[in-house]
Every structure is written in C-alpha cells, then in structure tokens.
Chains A and B, each alone.
Chain A
Amino acid sequence: MIKNYFKIAWRNIWKRKGFSAINIGGLAVGMASALLVLLWVQNEISYDRFHENGDSIYRMYNRDNFNGEPWAWGTTPKILGKTLNQDYPEVENVARISSEEFWLGVGNKKFKAEGYITDTGFLKMFSFPLLKGNISTVLNEPSGIVITENLALKLFGAEEAIGKNITVDQSDVFKVTGVLTDLPNNTQFDFDYLLPWSYMKTRGWDDSYWGNNSVETYVQLNNVASQASFDKRVQNINIDHTKDSGNPSSTEVFSWPLYKLHLYSKSENGQLVDGRIVTVRLFTVVGILILLIACINFMNLSTAQSEKRAREVGIRKVAGAPKRNLIFQFLGESTMIAFVAGVLGLILVQLSLHPFNTLVNKELYIDYSSIQFWLTFLGFMLFTGILAGSYPAFFLSSFKPIKVLKGTMNSSTSILTPRKVLVVLQFSFAIILIICTIIINRQINYAQQRDMGYNKNNLIYTFLEGDIRENYELIKQELLSSGAATAVTKTLSPVTQRYSDSWGFTWKGSTEEDKMLDFIIMSADADFANVMGVELVEGRDINIHDFPSDSTAVLLNETAVDRMRLEDPIGTVITQGDQNKTVVGVIKDFIIESPYDPIEPMMINGPSSWFGVLHIKLNPGNTIAEDLALAKGIFKKYNPEFPFEYHFVDEAYAKKFESVQQTASLAALFAALTVFISCLGLFGLATYIARNRIKEIGIRKVMGAGTLGIVTLLSRNFLKLVLVAFCIASPIAWYAMEKWLQSYSYSIGVEWWVFLAVGFLVILIAMLTVSFQAIKAAIANPVKSLRTE
C-alpha cells in the first residue's frame, strides 16, 4: 500500500511541476531559514554547557545602589577570590581572571594576542582540555605560559611548542608549559594564552583593596554546598572586610551560575534578568514563523488543488479506503515533499553558512558526523512534513465521495475559509517583520546622527606601549613639528570607551547621598578639548605645560555640573579619600558609552592620574595616508620594538552600533525571506485560481468585460486579504516596537507613516505577484478557454 502511495505522490509531483517547484522551493527556503536559526539558537543556549563541573561553577557579582538605583556588576576586587579560597571551605576552586592584550614575540615574529592572567584553579574548574602538559602544574610555575593549539601553530609552526620561550610584553620571558585544544565556538571565554597569577604581582598589579573592582572571579563549590547557603554567607563579605577601614563599602556580593552567564546578564534593579535570552527568544519565534509560513504555502497550494485530488479521494473511498488511510496517505505525501525540501534546504544552509556567519559574527558549522545532528534533522523534516500536511490531509480525506464523483462539490465562497485565514496569517507575519526592520533601522540611524559631542574625523588613537610612555614628550613634539598632527593628548582610555568609574566624592555643599553619585573617569595631560574637538563651556582646558599645578586639575562635563548642583563650578575642590582635585573647566557633554543612553556625569583628571592611550588629531592639510606614514616613522624611531598600531575613532564609534546593526540585518533578512515565501505562495494560489476561473473569464469577456476589469476581478480578493493582514499586523508591530524602543532612552517614536508605507509596499508586492497571472488570464482568447470546457 505504501508503495502505491509513493507512486501516486511522485506522479503528482511530476505532473504538476510548476506547483511542485513552488511547493518544494518555498518549503526548502523556509526550512533552510529555520535550520539557520536553529543552529544559531543551539549555539547560543549551549554556551559554556560543556564544562564537566559546570553545574557547580559560579561567577561572583557585586550589587550596590548608584544614583538611587540598585545595580549588579561582574567585576570584583582581586582580594575577593583569595579570601573565598582561604576562608570558605565549600569553595573547591577559585579562578580570578584579568584579561590582557599583550604583544607576544618569538624570534622575529611579534603580534598582539588576548590572554588571561589567572589562578591555577582555572584549568581545574573549566573543561578546556590540555593537549600537552599537566593540568595541576602548568600554571604553577611563575614563568610558565599555557597557549592554545592555534597560537602554538602561529608562533612555532609545526615545531613542538612545549619548553620553548615566548617574550610577553617585550621583556618578560615565559616558557610554554602546556598546549590547550582550541576553544569551542560556544564559550564566552576568549583567550589565546594563560599566564599564572604570580605575573600580576611581578607587574605590581595585584592588590588587596576591596574597592578596586577589576577582575572576574569564578568559584567552584563542592558537592554539599548549595548556591543559596553560599550566597547567604558571602553576601556581606565586602562590607565586613571594610567596615573598620576609612572607606567602608556598602557593596553586597552574590554568585551567578556559569550556565546562565551568557543569556542572563543584564542588570535590572540589581538583579540579573534577561539579556541575550531576549534576542534568542525573539529569533526562535521568527524561525518558527518562517517555517510556519512555508508550511502555510504548502497547505494553501495543496488545498487549492483539492478539486484535482478530490476525485481520487472519492474513488479510493468507494474502493473501501477508510478515512485514516487517506490521512496517512496525504501526510506521507507531504512528508515525502518535506524530505526533498529538507535535503534542498540543507544544501542551501551549507551554501549560506559563510555569509550568515559573517552577519551574526559567529563560527557556526554543521557537524555532519554527529548522529545527533542527523536524528534532529530527520525529526525536523518529519515535523515539517506533518505540520505542512496536517490540514490538507484532514481537508482532503473528509470529502464526501458521492459529491466529488458527481462533480457537485463547490469550492467554498464563505467569508472565512481556512485558506483565506492562512494567507492573512502569512502576510501578517511578513508585515510585522517589515515594519520592525524599518523601525530598528531608523532607530540606528537616529542614534548614529545624534550629536556625539566631539569630532571623530581625522582622530586616531594608539596604546601607550613599550617606550612610548617614556618618550611621550618627544613623540608629541615631533608629531606636531612634522605636520603629521595638529594636536596630541594622553588619556586614560579611548574616547569611545569607559575604562573606569568612581564614586565617593565630596565637595562644598555635597550631601551624604552625593557620595553614591557615579562618575565616568577619564584623564588628560593637556589639549583634551582641542584634540577631541569638544566644546569648552567654561574655564580652560587642562594644560600641565602652562600650569604646573594642573596635575590635580579636573574637567567636568555639563551633566556632572548639573548633578553636583554647582552654580559656579570653576575652582570647586572635589575630595575623594585624601585626594583633592580642583575644577578648572567645564566641557560640553559627549558620548563615551552607548549612543542610546543619556550622558552620565564625567570627570577628566589631570596628569597625576594613569594614562593608557594616546590620541592624535591628524593634520587635515595632508592626506590621511601621508599623516600616517609620517607618524609611523616617528613611532618606529622612538618605539622600535613595537609595530605602530593605531585605531580610527570613527571606526571604533561605529562598533557601538554593531550589535543592533546585527539585529537589524537579521530582521531584514528574515523579513525578505518571509515576503519571498509568502509571495511564492500567493503566486501559486493566483495561478490556480486564474486557471480555475478560466471559463468564467471567457464568458465575461464574451459579454464585453475589458482586461482591466478581469484583472481587478482576480486581484481584488487577494488585496482584501492583504489589507486584513495589514490591519492585524499593525497593532502587533506597533506594540512590539514600542516595547523595544522603551529599552533605549534615546530613541525615535513609533511613526504612523512607516505603517502606511509598509502597507502600500506590501499591497504593491502582492499586486505585482497576483496581477501577472491575472493579466495572463485576462488577455487569453475566450474562444479557446470556452472550447476546452
């Protein structure tokens, strides 16, 4: 019997090649999209799930109130890990991580790579398997370095890496004690090498200060300890250790499970809720919807062709086929089509994986050797087949044999046929996705056009590495005198990044509450406003050369002045602990962090503070290439050991939009796919209906109907459906976008014209799709169509 079903299914596919192509093609595109989303989601939810001890690993978090709001963050004092290891028996392993980017050198090879300075517990706790070396000893040696396979290949080629020396940061020599397998694509950890914690001491970076939150701390609890009891015990660890000091802390500590880190990391009211999981959920829904839309095509085309299959159903019923046999037959048929489409879809996925990876910035791949993959894929095709075939199967199998055999079955003309509902559903999804895409893009544009408060043109930065620090004045002079630059300044961080923030400041007239006012910290030696092109509103710029006392000078931004309620800010003395700073100038607000957020108070400290970055305003009189060539020569002269590595500020600023841009690109991709699949279905349906009404069209033409009249007649019903879809989709899209925009404090509103434009666009697309068939039917010779009847 099954052979019989196969035969008839295959012959039907072959006989109606056009419909089959639309059916299989649409389903294949839908399945490919769903597979891509599935791959992406699978990757997202599998983050750091591979660690054998994963269930007992936690990252330590802080919680405190800032500007009146509780806030949770994941950098901790270095002393926290040490204390947990010593005083808390339930803690089995501790790993502190200080992320660094060092120059690594072997012979003439020299390049920058990211690595961690970490405790010996790191490799015991996490499952990053060693290819070579002993887990319990590799990080014990103060001059030992553990590198990844990939880095080993880059540094040593095919040679054995163990025992070889690597120069770290120009002068410190480490010996390779272990080689790790490369990190999988589903871990939040990102490093090429591990250095022992003792290196922190060597560099003088280790400290026991409970107020310096600069490293990540991970703990592994033993089998008996519960997270709840551990959290209770550590909650006040910071408060207890600082209560007798001059600077008591109010920061609470809590732990957060490793497997939740990737998806739930957004602090809201001091709790870690949401985060990436929102995007994951969103795209899961989108993936399901696209598959559903493709299945709807299948349902629509199958039921539209029902009259052709009706007779077969009648005959089979007369021959004694029970209903369940027919259901089974049609489900089998749809599953067969889903399998063909699935294989095509898989080929499409393989072809589009590379561009998709670029789009989502991941390294997704299909593990063809995995049985689990094939089982999932098989299940996926079966599911699609049954989903797509379910409605047609029940619809077709319920035909009454006498009616279909006598030809008295009429196609339904009722207002709410399931086929119409399906088309409406399909177009509703498409319209929602298009509206969302447009609004997300407009939001990005809006933020991109926001006045950033500084001039990013011709502005570059480089890190103070090697000899740059000690030769800074010489370099600066030569950059200016050579004409490569018009202004140069040293700062704490790039102008596009917040490296540090601080609180606990007092000033004349400040209250106890003001101590919790958090400032973004920046630093500059001189010429800050000039280099950045930031407007000076009051006072003057910091300038250590003209004003030797400027080492403790401070610039404030307007928001800081406002929040500090300073009426005459210049000359105000700001105190933190035993340090005093004097305000010498006020600058206009500029964006250092998210272009979507309101500006926060900022303090730019004078030369007594630490510097890490050099900003150079290139000379606009030359070409950028000329300026850079000049600069390169100067850096080579004063810092010969290091290549001149620079970053353009405008590029760094553009990076702030990357993540949302990614969402926008994905939304656009999915919207396009949805429209494509929906139109494919609409085209098939229109073809079918035009063919079915061929006699009616013939009669109408004989009676004098014009081409336009016929086209209108055939298109009208489809347009009505699209209009209904528009009415359903608009409020849903409006609600979703309103909610999405609420997460940005600097955002556009939901604009009505977007809806109107999308409405017109979709109607136009639907019109074009339908009218092709309608015109074809309308210009056909009526004599021919009537004769064939």
Chain B
Amino acid sequence: MIKITELEKYYRTEEVQTIALNKLSFEVKQGEFVAVMGPSGCGKSTLLNILGLLDDPDGGSFIFNGIEVAGFNERKRANLRKHNIGFVFQSFNLIDELTVFENVELPLIYTGVRPADRKARVHEVLEKMQIMHRRKHFPQQLSGGQQQRVAVARAVVNNPKLILADEPTGNLDSSNGNEVMDLLTELNEAGTTIIMVTHSEHDAKFSHRIIRMLDGEKVTENILVNA
C-alpha cells in the first residue's frame, strides 16, 4: 500500500539545515498495523506528515496505492487525502466551536456526501464509538478519553484505507489510553491499515511491527510475533 524509497526531508533556517529524514525506506502492506518509535526529534512526526500527504518530501520516492505521490501539488494531495486517510492526533484537534456531531461530520462535508447520508453515517460511527449520547456536546464538555474517541470517529467516518495516529494516547490516562488502543485494534482487524507514532512501548505492542528511528534513519525493524 505504501512504499517509500530513500525519502529525504530537510528543515532550513537562515543558518542551519537540519536533516529530518535521511534516505528512509520501508514498505507497509494493506491491513498492517505499524508502530513508529524513536526519541524526540528523530523524524517520526515528519514521516507521518509526509505519509499523510500534509507535507512534501525533498527527495526520494513515495508510492501510495501504486501511484507516485512525491511532487503532487497541494490540491492533488488534498484530494487524495480526504478520500483515503484519517488522522488521530495526540491533542485531539477538535474544533471547539463545533459539537461532537459536527466535528465528526466535517470530513463528509468536504467529500460531498449528501446531508441525509451524512447524518446516518455519523450516527453509525458515534454508536460504534459509544459516544452517541454525547453528540450534542461541545469538545470542552467531554473528558480526554471521550474527546479522543470523537477524534477517532472523525478519522474513520470516511472509511479511509489508512489511519495515521500521532501519539494517540499521549494526553490520556492509562485506562482511557487502552480504550483508544482497543478501538484502533478493532479498526485494524476490520481491514484498515494503521501507522502509529508513539513513545509508549505499551502501545507499540498493539502493532504488528515496530520501526525504530534515530536521526531521520531507520535503525531497527521488529516484527512482533504475538501480533
């Protein structure tokens, strides 16, 4: 599903050039659950942004579903993104001014789904995430775990082929964290590919494979037997 070859990304300020990704290569197959780990600044988030088509690599190749997407312009990337990729962030990133229902509905609006279908689909997902009763609340009225469940609901509402999760349990206590990890596992078992950046060895154990990074390079790759 994803194949990156010698992917490069630099950050430049006036005086310094920092290498965020240094000729990174790996592959992720459809239906896999991959965890990316490494210390702060190793390039995990940069990688996730590129995989999520939010950012453009400076070099190398990135094949998504058989299409070379490195060098796509913003419009093309946005189009590919909204139909194929869902995001889950550490800080949830819900819009405070929208209700739970409206937040989850957002991706459907941008993919042009009709209102009646939107409502049905959002309800379906909210039921699944067990937050239907909270659909009229605003994000600040929810606990962290509930907020992240809304974020996951929003990520999956479009039935994306890929979910990118950036430390999804980072802001949660362990029981809420586990709930979210269970959700992701369920989604994966239903066929969704998941790539998750995490600091938590505990969370990483939910995945099939752990890619460890340091200074923009892949250091090791462990396949977890129990997965």
Whether B55 and A320, one on each chain, are in contact in the complex, defined by CB atoms closer than 8 angstroms, is: no
Residues on the B chain within 8 Å of A705, using CB: none
Question: Which chain A residues lie closer than 8 Å to B154 at the CB level?
Answer: 319
Once the chains bind, are A325 and B110 in contact (CB under 8 Å)?
A: yes
**Set of chain A residues within 8 Å of B49, measured between Cβ atoms:** 402
The residues in B between 59 and 91 inclusive whose CB is less than 8 angstroms from any CB of A are 74-75, 78-79, 81-83, 87, 89, 91
Of A6-14, A94-102, A133-141, the one contacting chain B is: A6-14
Which of the candidate stretches A31-39, A309-317, A725-733 sits at the interface with the other chain? A309-317
When the two chains form their complex, are residues B95 and A320 in contact, meaning their CB atoms are under 8 A apart?
Answer: no
> Do A319 and B106 touch (CB < 8 A)?
yes
Q: Which residues of B contact A15 (CB under 8 A)?
A: 97
C-beta contact mask, B19-61 vs A, less than 8 Å → 1, else 0? Answer: 0000000000000000000000000010001001011000000
Shortest distance between the CB of A259 and any CB in chain B (Å): 52
Q: Is A318 an interface residue (CB 8 A)?
A: yes
Instruction: Find out whether the CB atom of A405 lies under 8 angstroms from the CB atom of B89.
Output: yes
Chain B residue contacts of A401, Cβ below 8 A: 54
Interface residue from B78, B83, B94, B105 paired with A315 (Cβ < 8 Å): B94
Per the 8 Å Cβ criterion, residues 152-186 of B in contact with A are: 154
Pairwise interchain contact B102-A4, C-beta atoms closer than 8 A: yes
Contact A323 B74 (CB under 8 A): yes
- Cβ contact of B110, chosen from A11, A312, A319, cutoff 8 A: A319
| Interface: B216 (CB within 8 A) | no
- Rounded to whole angstroms, the CA-CA distance of A322 and B109 in the bound complex is 12
CA distance A405 to B78 in the complex (A): 16
Distance in angstroms between the alpha carbons of A311 and B45 in the assembled complex: 17
With a CB–CB cut-off of 8 A, which chain A residues contact B82?
A: 319-320
Chain A residues with CB under 8 Å of B55's CB are 402
Size bracket, chain B contacts:
20 to 34
B105: chain A residues at CB < 8 Å are 4
Residues of chain A lying within 8 A (CB to CB) of residue B45? 406
A371 interface residue per 8 A CB criterion:
no
Nearest B-chain residue to A323, judged by Cβ: B74
- Interface residues of B: mostly helix, strand, loop or mixed? helix
Mask, B123-159, CB within 8 Å of A = 1, is 0000000000000000000000000000000100000
| Cα–Cα, bound, A4→B78 (Å) | 20
From A1, A8, A317, contact of B95 by CB (8 A): A8
Flag if A317 contacts B78 (CB, 8 Å). Answer: yes
Contacts of B110 in A (CB 8 A): 316, 319-322, 325
Q: Collect the chain B residues with CB atoms within 8 Å of residue A321's CB.
A: 78, 110
Indicate if the CB atoms of B97 and A316 lie closer than 8 Å: no
A7 to B99, CA, bound (A): 10
The 8 Å CB contact of A320, one of B81, B91, B93, is B81
- Contact present for A318 and B87 (CB under 8 Å): yes
For A318, the closest partner residue in chain B by CB is: B87
User: B14 CB to closest chain A CB, in angstroms?
Assistant: 13
Q: Which residue of B lies closest to A5 (CB)?
A: B109
Task: Confirm or deny: B200 has a beta carbon within 8 angstroms of a beta carbon on chain A.
Answer: no
Q: Which of B74, B83, B109 contacts A1 (CB 8 A)?
A: B109
Q: How long is the Cα–Cα vector from A313 to B122 in the complex, in angstroms?
A: 21
In the assembled complex, how far is the CB of residue A58 from the closest CB belonging to chain B, in whole angstroms? 61
Residues of chain A within 8 A (CB-CB) of B97 are: 7-8, 11-12, 15, 312
Question: Looking at the complex, which one of B54, B89, B109 makes contact with A4 (CB distance below 8 Å)?
Answer: B109
B residues in contact with A315, CB < 8 Å? 93-95, 106
| Cβ–Cβ contact B102 & A7, under 8 A | yes
In-complex Cβ contact of A312 among B75, B81, B83, B95 (8 A)? B95
A11 to B89, CA, bound (A): 24
A8→B54 contact, CB < 8 A: no
Taking each of A8, A15, A314, A320, which has the highest tally of chain B beta carbons within 10 Å of its own beta carbon? A320
* In the complex, chain A residues whose CB is within 8 Å of the CB of B94: 315
CB of A759, distance to nearest CB on chain B (Å)? 37
A15-B97, A312-B95, A312-B97 are known contacts. Are A318 and B109 too (CB-CB below 8 A)?
A: no
Residues of A with Cβ closer than 8 Å to B?
1, 4, 7-8, 11-12, 15, 311-312, 314-323, 325, 401-402, 405-406
28 sample A-B contacts, Cβ–Cβ < 8 Å, listed by A number: A4-B102, A7-B98, A8-B95, A8-B97, A8-B98, A11-B97, A12-B97, A311-B95, A312-B95, A312-B97, A315-B93, A316-B95, A316-B106, A317-B78, A318-B52, A318-B81, A319-B82, A319-B110, A320-B79, A320-B107, A320-B110, A322-B75, A323-B74, A325-B110, A401-B54, A402-B54, A402-B55, A406-B45
Q: B interface vs A, CB < 8 Å?
A: 45, 49, 52, 54-55, 74-75, 78-79, 81-83, 87, 89, 91, 93-95, 97-98, 102, 105-107, 109-111, 154
Known: A4-B105, A316-B106, A320-B78. 19 other contacts (CB 8 A): A1-B109, A4-B102, A7-B98, A8-B97, A12-B97, A311-B93, A312-B95, A312-B97, A315-B95, A316-B95, A317-B54, A317-B78, A318-B52, A318-B87, A320-B107, A320-B110, A402-B49, A402-B55, A405-B93
